[in-house]
Structure 1
Amino acid sequence: MGNQKKSVIVTVWVTAVAGLAWLLSGAIRGWLLGHPTRLPGQFVALLFPETLARRTWQSVEPWPALLALASVVTMMAITAFFVWVIVTRSEHRSPGQRLGFLSLWMGVVLAAFSTAAFTSLGYIVATWPPARVAALLDGIEPLLFAAGYWGIIWGWIPAWVGSRLTRSAESSHKHKPATKRSTELVLLLSAGVLAVALMAAFPAAHRSTEEARAMSEPSPPPVQTPEPVVYGSPEVSHAFQPPGKNWCEGDEVAISWQEPEGATGHRGMRFELTNTGTGPCLLESYPDIAFDNVDGWAMDVLVVHGGSFMTDDPGVSAVTVLPGQGAQAFLGWNAMAAAGDMRTGTMLVAPYPGTLRHSSPVDLDIIDGGAVSLTAWAPIKEESAAIKNTRPKP
């Protein structure tokens, strides 16, 4: 057998057996870990190292088969290069020397390690940029160690086949040294091209998998924004004034108010209480008053008992209100800059704090944080004397 033919046979056999062993180890491991078996995971990892990375089987079809094929072909190409170099270099040894089993074994180990390195680089490119720098090497170390371990427990098989073929050829043929630089270069270029293709396959598989997952996952239903719960002023004030004997209750009266009047930046407003009961009742307090803005929210308005620029406070006195008759009180305030603020949209008035309030829509330039003046209940006077004469005539 000629030296060139012998080198080709050894290279082909070692490459084929190494590729088959690489495929079997990764495929058997992936199948056993992906299906329920009685074999412990540690035992599977011990016998079948991770030659085909776990992410290979997590990709969408047809990428698991394509990535496995790319890994095996790259492994075989790199193995062919290393074995060819070892075999052709050994042709210069003396006639009594043989091609060493350990040399071929080391070539297979280097090929496995190189394939794992290119696979790791492909994963780095696929997941770039990493979420954190420390995670950049998380998937590299296990693959490299698995490749080295595979070279120890599986790599001896193709090396043994190659060494047996070498011995058989040397026993019946005379050694003729030869160098095959051109073949060596072709194998190196082929291995390089396949390694680059392997690296490029992983980003493509990663993109396809992410797109498939995005399409398969149902879009979350639109979040229903609940309507906000509006907290307006209560129908009965939390503040409580102990009522006197026969005081007018909120459910026995009617309360109405007029449009506000203004003068030189001041406001005044009159409201009137009418006894709707069957007997007389007594008023001897300041009215209870509260405000809600146009959206219905309770407003924080400071209520000061007393008069204002446009109102006079007669003070608290006993006012008897006969059925069908009434009493009056006045609200005064300074004009407030309501631009950009919520105006008052509802006013609530009760005969005294602690009884039922009467409410009605209004449009007042009273805003949150403002202050108003409130007079005590008084008998109804002539309209001309209801508000100070400083107010403009309506």
Structure 2
Amino acid sequence: MVSSLRPARLTVLLATAWLATSCLEPPGVGRAADPTRAPGPAPWGSATSNAELEKKRALLEDVLDGELTAEGLAARLQKDWPELDTDQRARSLVGVTTVLEDLTKTGRAGKPVAPGPDREMAVAQLYFSERRFIEAATILSRVLDLAPTYPQARNLLARCFFFLGNRDRTIEELEFVLNHPEQQKDRGEVLDALFLLGAAVAETPGMSRENLQKARGAWETYLKIAPADSPSRDHVQKGLVDLEAGLRGEGPLAQPLVPVAAGDDDGATAPTAPLPAAATPPAATSNTARRVEQLPADATPLARAVAEGWDALDARDLATAETKLKAALKQDGKSPEALTGLARVFVQTGRNDEAMTHFDKAIAQAPGYMPALHYRGMAKLMAGDPAGAVASWEQIRTKDPAYFAQFNLEQRVAVARQMSP
């Protein structure tokens, strides 16, 4: 095994509750019989198009074949990506350049990496960094067939399953790491698995009591063995409070999951209604209250359509929500509440590009309308773009600190920052 090809430990965490309750459309499905070869834009959820990914894969293969070293890297990047400046290349190609840096540090740069787990792991890391979770999981499964305890491979596979909406398989893979005597020798890998197991449950409302107990045990163990200066300690300590509440049948973790075929972008700490703005109906006062019933008798048709649309979203009636919110936008195409609500519909029905367009329109029309930034961050994270989620939520920190605190976005930002590979 080659430790230089391992992912950075404790840097990629699981998504938050609203991601956990999502059913993500598999990247590229529907575009072609082999989605990895389909032309056109990036598959939904992916960071890059298939053509761009092939260029990065070719660059990585040259590194792994020993044909490209650090000395020749800059010229190669300039040749293949002339449209990008130096900083853009660094950000876009970090999945490849990190491998080259690791090989250089260990004196293996310029030497071919033989076919096998080391090489496959490097390719899997590239696909994961490009948010191609199905492809990454397939490669990692091959690695683990050959080497069941290959360093960090199973933790990375668990992350893939989480992003693909398979929580049970996520927990199963992490438990393997925690129970296998060989993997117990790597303290960093164990800490990573303990954190991830706790997060998989603590950030997911409606998990079973058995899983809540597993998560509590994982995080209690984490606190016992993690270094005193671990940046995740504070998150774990706060999360344990929520786990204990869930075991008592209290708090967001005690709420049942609502199965929906099209996916759900909402979570336990998400805003439950549009917050005050020009045409916003009153927020629901309980889980069963409907906004439309709280409207005054003289409410405008716009306010009524927005209220009905958001009520339909609460009921997971996406067809009605889309109809009502589109009707609202016909009356006022600049309504941030209607734009945000319709963007949520698009997220839940797999139309991510349209969703982002509508979120951006809402923010442009009403920069102070925090739910648009909040939900856009959630959608970014669901698409495997934690950096985009952080950028959206950091705007809330600056513009409305009270809102930022109300929805505990500090904790979400901290988790999202560590999710980036």
Give yes or no for TM over 0.5: no
Larger Rg: 1
TM-score of the aligned structures, taking structure 2 as reference length: 0.17
More helix by share: 2
Higher relative contact order (CA 8 A, sep 6+): 2
TM-score by length of 1: 0.18
* Larger fraction in strand: 1
